[in-house]
Amino acid sequence: MGLKLKDRRFSYSQPEGLNGIYLCRYAGTFFGLWTINGYFMVVDNFFLDTGNPNSSYKKFSQFISKLDHSAKWSVLNTHLHEDHCGKNHLVQKKLHAEVYARDKVEDFSFVSRLMDHVWGRPRMFTHNIFDRTVYDTDKGRRIEVIPTPGHSDDHVAFRIMPDNIIYSGDAIPLPVKKRYITTGENYIAEIESLKKLLVFAENGSRFVSAHHGIVGDPVKLISDRIDGMTSVVRRVRDVRDSGINNVDEIGNRVFGKPDIIYRKLGDSIRCRQDWTVQSILDGIK
């Protein structure tokens, strides 16, 4: 471990079992202290997300140069956080892609200077709201748009058919008991979306998650998070019902004091424990 300002990694592969679909990998780092991996997919003539801005421009361009430039390209975004639409502008510039998402973003000024080191701040692109619920690829696949609000209001997952593979973006949190949430995140809605995805998993859909990659056991991964997050909601309710109303105090009782990074830099990294408590309190009123 050493000081590492930005992580530029970018790689791509066509893993066995994904039927020729590209899985692209990138990462973000907080000065080398921790690293989060990220994954997105390229299905025929569709990008499902485009990763973060900081990943290697050169390697990404090499990847794009391998693709069929005569195809009609589109980008479908699970949501417009900076680690998911970071190369939209490049795909638009080089492949003339149309970009679709469930919501619009005006600019990326919400990405702080600190987060510019972690994921980067995307360059702007032009985009549209989804104009259908199913997109057909040029090789005969169908990509279904599945609303999964919670991580963000506008979050969606995509099911690729007939492969029956779901790219779930950020709908499946990394921690089992999610403790810190980001701006606009809705804890209770997130649990409901996990329940929706669990039904697909139980019926045999395979999963690729933006921060887990190819999921080995989606039923377990999703159920564990439903259980963990539901237990957090229960604890918050119990503490509130015991007569404690202060959001920080409830958080301290449920989780303990926030880690120092979140205490000192929560606004800058857009991730705070008291937002979790407030979101739950708002949801269980």
Buried b (16+ CB within 10 A) or exposed e, 125-144: bebeebeeeebebeeebebe
The region of 43-51, 67-75, 166-174, 237-245 touching Fe ion under the rule CB under 5 A is: 166-174
Would you say 19 and 2 are in contact if contact means Cβ atoms under 8 Å apart?
no
Closest CA to 272 of 161, 180, 157: 180
Number of residues located near Fe ion, criterion CB under 5 A: 2
The region of 80-88, 171-179, 190-198, 276-284 touching Fe ion under the rule CB under 5 A is: 80-88
Nearest approach, Cβ of 87 to Fe ion (angstroms)? 15
Nearest approach, Cβ of 169 to Fe ion (angstroms)? 7
Cis peptide before 15 (omega within 30 of 0): no
User: Which residue number is nearest to Fe ion in terms of Cβ?
Assistant: 81
Residue 16 or residue 107: which is nearer to Fe ion going by CB? Answer: 107
The region of 21-29, 98-106, 112-120, 170-178 touching Fe ion under the rule CB under 5 A is: 170-178
Does 81 contact Fe ion by CB under 5 A? Answer: yes
Q: What is the largest CA-CA distance in the chain?
A: 64
Instruction: Give the footprint of Fe ion on residues 42-61 (CB under 5 A).
Output: none
Partnered with residue 209 across adjacent β-strands are 213
Nearest approach, Cβ of 79 to Fe ion (angstroms)? 6
Nearest approach, Cβ of 157 to Fe ion (angstroms)? 12
Nearest approach, Cβ of 81 to Fe ion (angstroms)? 4
Would you say 125 and 98 are in contact if contact means Cβ atoms under 8 Å apart?
no
Does 170 contact Fe ion by CB under 5 A? Answer: yes
Nearest approach, Cβ of 51 to Fe ion (angstroms)? 12
Give me 126's structure tokens: 């032009």
Partnered with residue 142 across adjacent β-strands are 136, 161
Residue 81 or residue 87: which is nearer to Fe ion going by CB? Answer: 81
Would you say 114 and 86 are in contact if contact means Cβ atoms under 8 Å apart?
no
The region of 12-20, 53-61, 163-171, 262-270 touching Fe ion under the rule CB under 5 A is: 163-171
Place of tokens 């800058």: 268
Residue 73 or residue 207: which is nearer to Fe ion going by CB? Answer: 207
Nearest approach, Cβ of 84 to Fe ion (angstroms)? 6
**Start-end of H helices in the chain:** 57-66, 88-95, 113-118, 187-202, 218-241, 247-255, 260-265, 273-284
Name the residues that contact Fe ion, by CB under 5 A: 81, 170
